[in-house]
Amino acid sequence: MQLLILFVLQFLYGVCAIGLAAYSIHSAWLVWQARKSRTATLALPPAVWPSVTIQLPIYNEQHVIERLIDACAAQDYPLDKLQIQVLDDSNDGTQQLVDRSVTYWQRTGRRIQVVRRSTRAGFKAGALVYAQPLAEGEFIAIFDADFRPPRDFLRRMVPHFLAPGAEKLGFVQARWGHVNRDYSPLTRSQALALDGHFAIEQDGRQAAGYFIGFNGSGGVWRRACIEDPKVGGWRQDTLCEDLDLSYRAQLAGWRPLYLNEVEAPAEVPPQLNAYKRQQFRWAKGSMQTLRKLGAQVWQSDLPIQTRMAAFVHLGNYLIHPMLLTLLLLIPPILLLGATPISPVPLIGLASFGPPLLYAAGQIRLHRQVWWQRWLYLPLLTLLGMGVCFSNSRAVWEGWRTTGGEFQRTPKFRVERSGDGWRNSSYRVPIDRMMLGELFLMAYALFAAVLIAQRDGWLSAPFMLLYAASFGAVVFIGLWQNRPTRAHTARRGDELHSFPASDYDTARAPVRGPLPAAAPPGDVLVKTTISQVE
């Protein structure tokens, strides 16, 4: 019986080790593919610009909503061809800020309106479905609340849909930039990871002719693609409605385009717990999409390498349960008197790909200072391993369930080191997952002691890395959520999380002060679905 148990444990250990090594090799392969990519051919401006609807799905975004609306209203695009929809599901003071901002821009001639629902059914996907009949544009641009699109965004994106042979171009995705990259070591580490994803992973998949995903924001869709019966429009049965729709569109014959040269700046979470929440949603939604579309992808007539690449893409977050399983298996294997696969070759084989990918991303985007930004790789490694417990739970839930609560990633409008966020009501509290991370930190130290007793401390760095990762996640989470004296400033009817002087200088609005209310004769356009039925 003991031999059977040991065989099962060693088999599982080997599967996870091979899986991590394969992921590392795949990362290196994407670096090789990305080197073949070329800057997209500059699409010529059309003689007549097509109609575009910008949709802004938001929920409780007091800190950033005005910045978002200002940036979209300032788009350098023909006003008679541009419609802006603020899909506002908020239930706090965000509503007042939205109404005042929309009223201002309506007076300047912008075709901007608020679309509100009575419930948050379907969350972001539900809001997009609800607003679709009210959209007038031939093309749909989507921005999350933390984005700040540049003025020429639409003029650089839309012409690609109108180029010769682009009739089946379904969506165009821009690269995400980072308005607060240098806010803290945590934001620098996240920016390093996102740069690698866009500049290498997205571009590498595109260069190889494989499926890419729409990232949910900073992109433009052809409306005909969304409404194609073979595609099926926005769906609410996954937490990654963007990934789901983009894969269904490509399975139906529509093509994607990723533009590395067009940047859409956004905010990365300054709070670790907010980052963990974001990762949890992405991991769960990715697994839901894999479960939903995996069979369809495999049964398609796509080349085998394209289908395999799609599975690797959709199953990317499986690395987290593999990391967790490796940790959990080592002590029982040692206690049964056996020796697991040496962690030294495992580290060498399963670790070289991601650092190479992140270095290549920085060299491509920031050649002059790439090494300075790449130096945050150790912290990114700690974060990646430290969230494997939370993300493993997300993978498990995603594989077993459909849909679920869309827990938004809070945005605080932090753009420089002096901006505050810790007093915001949007701050994510500590949850019970931290108890599991504390246990795993102790468990990893126990595993390190077992290995050291058997082979010496030089054989234990892999387990010590686990312990440091979980310890870092716990420490940062506790430190960021330590009690603090409230220091707030009133704006409108709501309290904000930073001093008035910081907030006023950070806003740098493109418009003047808003009036308290619209004067007689001015009407704020608020739209519900009943108006078009």
Q: What is the SS3 string spanning 291-333? A: HHHHHHHHCCCCCHHHHHHHHHHHCHHHHHHHHHHHHHHHHHH
Q: Is 89 a catalytic residue?
A: yes
- Tell me how far apart the alpha carbons of residues 357 and 323 are, in angstroms, rounded to a whole number: 19
Amino acid type, 270: P
Instruction: List strands edge to edge, sheet with 219-222.
Output: 255-266, 169-178, 219-222, 139-142, 52-58, 82-88, 111-115, 526-527
Residues 6+ apart with CB under 8 A from 205: 30, 33, 211, 212, 309, 313
* Cα gap 386→468, rounded to integer Å: 8
Coil, strand or helix at 464: helix
* Residue 471 and residue 441 in contact, taking contact as beta carbons nearer than 8 Å: yes
How far is residue 531's CA from residue 348's CA, in Å, rounded to a whole number?
A: 61
What is d(CA 146, CA 217) in angstroms, rounded to the nearest whole number?
Answer: 10
- What is the rounded CA–CA span in Å between residue 310 and residue 303? 11
- What is the distance, to the nearest Å, from the Cα of residue 480 to the centroid of all Cα atoms in its chain? 22
Q: Point out the catalytic residue in the list 70, 242, 419, 502.
A: 242
For residue 83, give the DSSP letter.
E
From the candidates 70, 88, 89, 99, give the one annotated as an active-site residue: 89
Determine the Cα–Cα distance for residues 32 and 207; give it in Å rounded to an integer: 10
Comparing CA positions, the residue from 87, 27, 30 lying closest to residue 57 is: 87
**What angle, 0 to 180 degrees and rounded to 10, lies between the N-to-C axes of helices 2-34 and 319-335?**
150
195 is catalytic: no
d(CA 356, CA 139): 37
Place of tokens 């409008």: 413
d(CA 325, CA 348): 19
> Residue 286 and residue 240: Cα distance in Å, rounded?
6
Alpha carbon of residue 143 to chain centroid: 12
**Which residues are catalytically annotated?**
89, 242
